[in-house]
Amino acid sequence: MLKRYLIIIILIGCVKGYSQNILILDKPGKVNRIRYYTGDLIHLKTHDREKLYGEIEIIKDSSFVVNRQEIKLSEVKYIQNTKRHKGWDFLSGVSLTAGLGYFILDSGNKLINGEGREIANSRMVVTTSIFMGVFLVSNRIANRKYRINKNRKLKIINLDIG
């Protein structure tokens, strides 16, 4: 019986230790939210045109601290997504490597073989353009910027229990 109470007290103490404030980028009417916890990386720009990138040190009730600088929620102009999907990052890297690699290998091969008159033929230009297009689109999706306005709100939620 004493063991049960001891276990319950320990579990409650653990839950209390993990309670914290969470910075949330929310779009009303949508299910997915972007959550930032203390220690997460964030990349943002303020209305004063100051760009900040770093770990969130403290999340307070109406502000948060990045790089020892306190930022109020109302000062944030946009947040660049650092909570990326690994698939878009991977596709971006593969398509950039494939596009540049194909261009360098094909043009280098033509120079070595003495076909210097036509280094970039239409087939190579089309193939490289496709790879670079996939890179640009996937990189744009992976590094999306979210402008803070009435449709996309930045909030702090307090998960304090007790």
Q: Number of folded domains in the chain?
A: 2
Q: Is residue 9 part of a domain?
A: no
Q: Is residue 15 part of a domain?
A: no
More confident residue, 25 or 137: 137
pLDDT band of 134, cuts 50, 70, 90 = very high
Does one domain contain both 74 and 151? yes
Does one domain contain both 105 and 150? no
* Residue range of the domain that includes 154: 20-83+143-158
64, 65, 70, 71: CA torsion to nearest 10 = -50
Neighbours of 54 (CB within 10 A): 14
CA atoms within 13 Å, Cβ hemisphere of 89: 7
**What is the pLDDT, as a whole number, of residue 162?**
55
Q: Where are the beta strands (DSSP E) in the chain?
A: 21-26, 34-36, 41-46, 51-59, 63-66, 69-72, 76-80, 145-147, 153-158
Does one domain contain both 30 and 100? no
CA angle (58, 68, 158) in 5-degree steps: 15
pLDDT band of 97, cuts 50, 70, 90 = very high
pLDDT band of 6, cuts 50, 70, 90 = low
**What is the pLDDT, as a whole number, of residue 67?**
87
Contact 156, 64 (CB under 8 A): yes
Q: Which structure tokens are listed for 69?
A: 């600088």
Across the range 17-40, mean pLDDT stands at: 77
